[in-house]
Structure 1
Amino acid sequence: MSDSFLVKESNAVTVSNETIGKVAILLCTYQGERYLAEQIDSIISQTYDNWVIYASDDGSQDHTLEILRAYQKKLGTERFFVLPGPQQGYVNNFFSLVKNQSIVADYYAFCDQDDIWSEDKLYVSIQWLKKHAVETPSLYCGRTALVNELGVKVGNSPLFKYPPSFKNALVQSLAGGNTMVFNHALKAIASATANSEVISHDWWFYILVTACGGRVYYDFESHVSYRQHSDNVIGANAGVISGLARLKKMLGGRFIEWNRRNLKAVGLLKERMPPSNLMVLENFERARCSPLLKRCIFLMRSGVYRQTLQGNLALWVAVLLNRI
């Protein structure tokens, strides 16, 4: 193993408080040798240290498993678990951890293999989550700082200012999974409903928590550095070019398929949904299968919205062209 894979020592001042609760960090890896050590080092440097890492590797053929084993040896087998992934893509890899009944904690944090966490990431998210009753599904998420392959900041993810809600979740994913920390109540619902129909784990969690009347906090401050590189499965979706690419996909039929799959999965939640959300869902579903005039009426009744002016304009173009 090369020197770049060696486990680093951390000198961070930590805050360990058992009453706040344990965090299970759900780390998914695949061919991640290039940046994995830096990500794990940033976890070790957290000011809040009541965490356990569960790493699910999806069949890496590089040095990823060697790196994971080295950190497991350093941190101990009670604090660092290495599990085999289902080898069915990154979404199912994350869902394999969500549905794993042996992983039990007070809170859970999705973790990508190539990011860098700010030292206060877990502390900030847990401070918000602990304000809410344990039986209320709750999700913390937020913006990311965009960094290049060397870890140098090059920008920020888009700032979304409209309130998180089911009306927004039906037509837009709010935040990256790499920012998400959630409580056990949400994990319990997700483990019973996660399936291959959904588009992505992060979008599904946003839909899930809002559909069930849970709590969502979108942090305007970034506590994750999201690395932009050629091997990203999904990029940051920032900038004019990315916006045009999304519009092209939306009008080309991708949005229709995304909605079909998400709505099929949402069908499993109807017994958990408050009447107001059921009404939103009914109007949105009717809009999708109605002629133009009624399509517009039902969409307005549903109240669905995206987070930017450009996004809402694109949504209405899709409505007019029957691409929802």
Structure 2
Amino acid sequence: MTAKDQRVAVLMGTRDGAAFIGEQLESLFAQSWPAVDLWVSDDGSTDATVAIVEAWRSRWNKGSLTLVDGPRKGFAANFRSMVIDPRIDADYYAFCDQDDVWEPDRLESAIRWMEGEDIDMPLLFCSRTATISQTGIPAGYSPLFRRPPSFRNALVQSIAGGNTMLFNRKARDLLAKASARTEFVSHDWWAYLIVTAAGGKVRYEPRPLVRYRQHAANLVGANVSWKARLSRLGRLFQGQFATWTDSNLRGLAVNRDLIARDAALCLRLFIRARKGSTFRRFSLLGKSGVYRQTLMGTLGLYLAFLSRRI
């Protein structure tokens, strides 16, 4: 099967993105992978976003370009609507933000890795990101993670942005089934959770394949400075992380039938670790084997557990 026979569905969520979406569309058009169907779910833009996308219809010769109305319930619900949409059919699927810039081999690098893996297994590819300013000036990189991706990590950390993710048909089928049963906090964390929970395989690519644009309207900030990292770690102690974790656990609870045996054991220990005495919490958390990607993050996790902030 040639590259032209293997289609990628790019799932782009938009809302008032006129300022930067043109540059992103140019980078999608410049992808080395030849067969790309673009699905754009617009979540109620009041600027020229829709007009810019419409203007690309006649130019988009890599495949189809489909524009749909989003649910208008936030970015996570917008991506969820595309994950569960039965009209979207492809060999591979990639999440896409409206204001990034993709490297030309963003799609091909992920697909080439998947071609060497078991196609009957849910596969998810993600990568590090480079950060650029509003005007496109390089501003740094997301942290370089070295510990292996796994469900034990996914329970307490989202390893990469959805804008770097590509997944195969098996993973999409899994995500669609799981997502139809529940809502979620963030599509990227949910994808990482469900794929690893079901025994799928995740590849974290250390080479940045996406340039993430940092600007005032971003929904989620870049994690590139020590200040930003400390801010995120601080959420462990402010209750926000506990709220997110509660949401993830509710989603996993209604998808018990999709969870592999090893992941289910880890999950039970993690849930039990959130209750009881200090010693019990510490002991069960250790037995669960959960970890964050950095030593500082893991230490913060344990401290938050012991102080009952999770």
TM-score category, normalised to shorter length: over 0.9
Is residue 2:241 matched to residue 1:255? yes
Cα distance, 1:199 vs. partner? 1.4
Q: In the TM superposition, what whole-angstrom CA distance separates every residue of 1:52-74 from its partner, at most 9, and x where no partner exists? A: 10000001010001001000132
Q: Do the aligned partners of 1:142 and 1:179 also contact (CA within 8 Å) in 2?
A: yes
19 and 37 in structure 1: CA distance in 2 versus 1, 3 angstrom threshold: closer
C-alpha distance in structure 1 between counterparts of 2:298 and 2:24, whole Å: 35
Q: Which one-letter code corresponds to 2:131 in the other structure?
A: L
Q: Which one-letter code corresponds to 1:57 in the other structure?
A: D
Aligned to 2:279: 293
Cα distance, 1:198 vs. partner? 1.8
Give the alignment of 1:95-106 within 5 angstroms: 95-106=80-91
Note the residue ranges of structure 1 that are not aligned, 5 or more in a row: 1-15
Q: Which one-letter code corresponds to 2:221 in the other structure?
A: G
Aligned to 1:313: 299
Q: Do the aligned partners of 1:24 and 1:109 also contact (CA within 8 Å) in 2?
A: yes
RMSD, matched Cα: 1.6
C-alpha distance in structure 2 between counterparts of 1:132 and 1:272, whole Å: 21
Q: Give SS of 2:202's match.
A: strand
Give the alignment of 1:143-182 within 5 angstroms: 143-182=128-167
Q: Do the aligned partners of 1:27 and 1:53 also contact (CA within 8 Å) in 2?
A: yes
Q: In the TM superposition, what whole-angstrom CA distance separates every residue of 1:75-127 from its partner, at most 9, and x where no partner exists? A: 26961100110000000101111110010000000000000000111110110
Note the residue ranges of structure 2 that are not aligned, 5 or more in a row: none
C-alpha distance in structure 2 between counterparts of 1:131 and 1:105, whole Å: 19
Is residue 2:172 matched to residue 1:187? yes
Number of residues paired by the alignment?
A: 309
C-alpha distance in structure 2 between counterparts of 1:217 and 1:19, whole Å: 24
Identity of aligned residues (%): 40
After the TM superposition, which segments of 4 or more aligned residues of structure 1 sit over 3 Å from their partners?
16-20
Cα distance, 1:17 vs. partner? 3.2
C-alpha distance in structure 1 between counterparts of 2:85 and 2:123, whole Å: 19
Aligned to 1:201: 187
Give the alignment of 1:1-324 within 5 angstroms: 17-18=2-3, 21-75=6-60, 79-194=64-179, 197-324=183-310
Q: Do the aligned partners of 2:140 and 2:224 also contact (CA within 8 Å) in 1?
A: no
Q: Give SS of 2:268's match.
A: helix
Q: Do the aligned partners of 1:197 and 1:264 also contact (CA within 8 Å) in 2?
A: no
Q: Which one-letter code corresponds to 1:321 in the other structure?
A: S
180 and 121 in structure 1: CA distance in 2 versus 1, 3 angstrom threshold: same
Q: Do the aligned partners of 2:91 and 2:169 also contact (CA within 8 Å) in 1?
A: yes
C-alpha distance in structure 1 between counterparts of 2:190 and 2:259, whole Å: 15
Cα distance, 1:20 vs. partner? 6.2
294 and 284 in structure 1: CA distance in 2 versus 1, 3 angstrom threshold: same
C-alpha distance in structure 2 between counterparts of 1:77 and 1:45, whole Å: 10
Q: Give SS of 2:59's match.
A: helix
Q: Which one-letter code corresponds to 1:36 in the other structure?
A: I
TM-score (norm 2): 0.96
Task: Single out whichever of 63-72 and 233-242 deviates more from structure 2.
Answer: 233-242
